[in-house]
Amino acid sequence: MIATMEQGQNVDTVTPGSIVASLEAVNKNYGNVRALRGVDFRVRAGQIVALLGPNGAGKTTAVKLLLGLMPPNTGRVRVFGGDPTNPENRMRTGAMLQVGRVPETLRVREHIDLFSTYYPKPMSSTKILAAAGLEKLSDRKFGELSGGQKQRVLFALAICGDPDLLLLDEPTLGLDVEARRLLWDEIRHLVGRGKTVLLTTHYLQEADALADRVAVINQGEIIAQGTPAEIKAQTSGKRIRCITSLSTPSLRQIPGVTEVKEDREAVEIHAREAEPVVRELLARDAKLSGLEITSAGLEEAFLALTQDSAKNGNHSN
């Protein structure tokens, strides 16, 4: 009891909704480069949170701060209510980082054995191998593995301690479609057991498919936060796709059209509302075919948000 009070730790963090990890007004610079600017970001228990942004946005920096690998210049980083460098917090956290080289002469099971030893209550090696899809590879030396297999070993090292919080930096980079789906399933399974996952990604589809909450980051600032649906709603709009003989310039002049793109034999028209534009199209081109109307996806929302923030960013610099 006394130990808990001295550390000031918020022990009761398994309650869904409580804050498991946070960046509070964090600035982080590398020399002249402002990698994170005034970032406020919270991860709540039991959720999958995706930090979505292009390369160089500051995602990896955010993860490294949460892991206590370096201190922020200003602001505060908190994990389980305490300092991320605290070994007790590290014992409840698992990390997957982008690594240039892992010792190649050690076998998969040896890597897992060593990392499991760091934790007070690791999972059994059978479970770890199964969760990472490595059952047949446990005796292989790391250097003999393919790129995707190496990623899975890094994932195994992140989960081996049965941590309450998982921080994954671009976990599906280099994985083929099937391996990616398997990893997504495993992440969902972990969250189903009460874990919390923060992953960074630049795959929009991944954030959309996996996350309960998405934070969009660009040039060191969080420019949007919310559920995938809320982010999409921030750029309302529809996508109208059709094959038409109408010229692109004339399409642009239809009222309500915000953007026209050519895609091989078809055109893709972006508009606030679909119906007036479609009425106009059908009136002008009776031979129009291949008509598809969809909501603007996360990709459009993301591009719109990052273009906006880039424009605004030029002012604040």
Nearest-CA neighbor of 52 among 306, 313, 307?
306
Using CB atoms within 10 Å of the CB of residue 86, give its burial: 0 to 12 exposed, 13 to 18 middle, 19+ buried: middle
- For residue 175, the minimal CB distance to another protein (Å) is 18
Instruction: Classify 286 as helix, strand or coil.
Output: coil
- For residue 79, the minimal CB distance to another protein (Å) is 11
- The neighbour count for residue 242, using CB atoms within 10 Å, is 20
Site residues (vs another protein, CB under 8 A): 3-4, 9, 11-14, 30, 33, 35, 60-61, 64, 67-71, 87-88, 90-93, 95, 97-103, 105-106, 110, 113-115, 117-121, 141, 154, 157, 161
Residue with smaller CB distance to another protein, 92 or 152: 92
- For residue 39, the minimal CB distance to another protein (Å) is 15
Using CB atoms within 10 Å of the CB of residue 58, give its burial: 0 to 12 exposed, 13 to 18 middle, 19+ buried: buried
One-letter identity of residue 228 = P
Distance (Å) of CA 45 to CA 15, 169, 185: 7, 18, 19
Residue with smaller CB distance to another protein, 158 or 296: 158
- For residue 18, the minimal CB distance to another protein (Å) is 12
Residue with smaller CB distance to another protein, 98 or 234: 98
- For residue 113, the minimal CB distance to another protein (Å) is 7
Residue with smaller CB distance to another protein, 3 or 283: 3
One-letter identity of residue 194 = G
Residue with smaller CB distance to another protein, 45 or 210: 45
